[in-house]
Structures are given as C-alpha cells and as structure tokens.
Amino acid sequence: MDRTLFEPEHLMFRDAIRRFIEKEIAPHHKQWEADGIVPRDLWLKAGEQGFLGMDVPEIYGGGGLPDFRYAVIMTEELARSNNTGPGFSLHNDVAIPYILHYANDEQKARWLPKFCTGEEILAIAMTEPSGGTDLAGMKTRAIRDGDHYVLNGSKTFITNGINADKVIVACKTDPDKAHDGISLLVVERGMPGFERGRNLEKIGWHAQDTAELFFENVPVPVENRIGEEGMGFMYLVSQLPQERLIIAVGALAAAEAALEWTVKYCQERTAFGRPIGKFQNTRFKLAEMKTEIEIGRVFLDRCIMEHNARNLSAVEAAMAKWWCTDLQNRVVDQCLQLHGGYGYMLEYPIAQAYLDMRWGPIGGGTNEIMKEMIGRSMGF
C-alpha cells in the first residue's frame, strides 16, 4: 500500500538521513552499544546537516520547518536501521517543543541556537524513583528564594541524561498543591548541587545514555523557569501526545523492518529440501503480521497528518502508542521464532530488535495508562 502523506521534499530528506545513518551511525553503533553512550561529536555532525531543531524558527538557527513529517522520517529511518542509540528524537520532538511553546523570547535566543547546532544536548526529567506516571505525586521540590529556586530531589530513567547540557526538570514549586503546584525549570550542566548518577544498564537501547539525576540545594535562577509558575502540569499534558505519537512511529517502523528481514530469511533458509517460507505455518504467520502492520500503518499515518494539522487528540495518541508498541512486540517475537536458533544470535538484527522492543509498552506512559485514558474518554 502506497503512503500518500509525503511530498518530494520529504523523500529527499529521507535519502539524506538514510545516507547520514549509513555513514555516521551504522558503522559505529556496535561500539556505542558496548560503551553505553553515543559520542557528542555525532550530535555536532547531525547539527551540521540540519537534523537538529528542524522545526525551530530560522531566527534561532533552526530549520524553520514546522512539519512533523520530518521528525517521522528521522524516527522511521533510525528504527528501521536498528540504530537506537542517538537520542535525537527526545531532543527534537519531546524536549525542544517545551522551549518553543512556553519559553519567552530571551530564553529561546539563549538556548535554541546551540540545541540546533548540537553544541548542547537537551533532556527532560519527569520520572522519579518513587513513581513514574503519577506526576502529581512527584517529590522533587523547588522553593523560591528571591531571584532563584532551591531545587532538591532526584529523577531516574532520563534519556540523554549523561550527555545533556540542559535538563527541563518537572518539580513542585508549591508542595501543598497537586497538579497545580508543578513548574518546569531548566537545570544547566555545572550548577552547584546538580549531579548525575549511573548510566543505567538496560535490557536494550544500550547505546542510549539513560541516567539518574540528583539535585541537592541546586540554585536555579527564576529566569530559567519555563512559562508560568504552577503551569507545568498543563504544559506536560499538552506535549505528551507528540511524545506518544513519535514512540508509535518508531515502533511500527521497527515492526516493518523486522518483517522485511524475516521474509528474506524465510526465502533463503531451507528445511526438508525447501525454503521455510513454503510451509503453511510460516506463510500464515507472515500473512498475519503483514496484515496487522498494514492496518496499523493506515491508522498511524492518519494520526500523523492529524497531528500535523494540530487536530490529534490525546486519546488518539494514546491509541496509537499502545497499539503500535504492542504490535511491535508481537511481530518481533514471532519473527525471532521464525529465525529459529539464529534468531537468538546477536549477529542477526532480529535478536537486537528483540532486546530493544520491550521498552515501547513502558516508555511515554505505560500502555495500561493509555488504555485507562481511552476508557475514561468513553465515559467510564
């Protein structure tokens, strides 16, 4: 089924990002997996090519392309190539939008140019050791003292946490309130009392640095607060649908890639004198996966265009996120099974995909929470 959502300029961009991955990422990714981190010079190279801050206005050094389809293409190509290390999507599509939508002009001029060149890397810190999705229950506190806040607390599972130069920290500026007491502060590398913990060891996504962050009496200038005090929860709720949609984009692209590898394997691998794809069980499994992926592709592409028109609802984003990540898990698991013993060997891409896939139903809000959101929208 042909996809109709892309224009010629998008196809040119896909060729460019594909060449970048083949030259600058794929040859080195195995080493980065061993290192547990992507080198900072990759970010500078991505910035030179215009792959960072694509929707940032040109006045701040960005691409001036407020078109979500470019983010979709980058995410798809990284997923299909099985290169999960570069945290470009977190930087571009999850964190930078908070600066674009809620920062003032002075803050944008101060921060955005280096985010676009790759000189500085951005992260966002919401999750805490004591709880993930329960933002109202966060324990990180920032108490105002004159022209600065005194920040105390900790965050965990923070993507880009080791490399990040700036971190958008969700914290309670009014501990007596729940959602209305949350604000967003930008913490900078080198601020006294700001420490990074371990680069966390994960099941998959080994090349993507994921860290613990600790704040002990960190003095954060009031001028580093994004938007209004107490509005942080509303800002987070407004931006989470895009995060969930981009997770869905990567998940479906990864499922498509896994099926492509497996079809090729089933055409070449023989058993009992014929390709294993000739066996009915194999054909049926492949047919089922192909059909489910096509169904998911139609819905997801519609969601992408709805989001591009600023019409995608939080509920539709939740549907896309849980459906596509669950589908990715089913597809990759079945594809590995069809590879037999070779599927268990890390020299085959399907094995790495199997390790990486399990994050999807957890990250960006668990799929159980996605279903809860959908259920509530139905009046329950």
The per-residue b/e assignment along 264-301, b for 16 or more CB within 10 angstroms, e otherwise, is ebbeebeeeeeebbeeeebeebbeebeebbeebbebbb
What whole-number distance in Å separates Cα of residue 246 and Cα of residue 352?
21
What span, in angstroms and rounded, lies between the C-alpha atoms of 72 and 304?
8
- Residue 37, H or E segment: none
Q: Where are the alpha helices (DSSP H) in 28-180?
A: 29-35, 40-48, 68-80, 88-89, 96-102, 105-117
Look-up: residue for tokens 């806040």?
A: 149
Cβ proximity of 152 and 215 under 8 Å? yes
User: Cβ–Cβ contacts within 10 Å for residue 322, how many?
Assistant: 26
- Residue in 33, 76, 77, 243 annotated catalytic: 243
Q: List all residues 6 or more positions away from 72 whose beta carbon is below 8 Å from its beta carbon.
A: 246, 249, 304
Would you list the DSSP string of 148-176?
EEEEEEEEEEEETTTT-SEEEEEEESSTT
Active site residue 243: yes
CB atoms inside a 10 Å sphere around CB 218: 22
Instruction: Indicate left, alpha or beta for 50 from its phi (over 0: left) and psi (-120 to 50: alpha).
Output: left
3-state helix, strand, coil in the chain (%, to 5): 55, 15, 30
- In a 10 Å sphere around its CB, with 0-12 CB exposed, 13-18 middle and 19+ buried, how is residue 99 labelled? buried
- Looking at residue 333, its amino acid is D
Q: From the centroid of its chain, how far is CA 60? A: 23
H or E segment to which residue 317 belongs? helix 314-339
Active-site residue numbers? 243
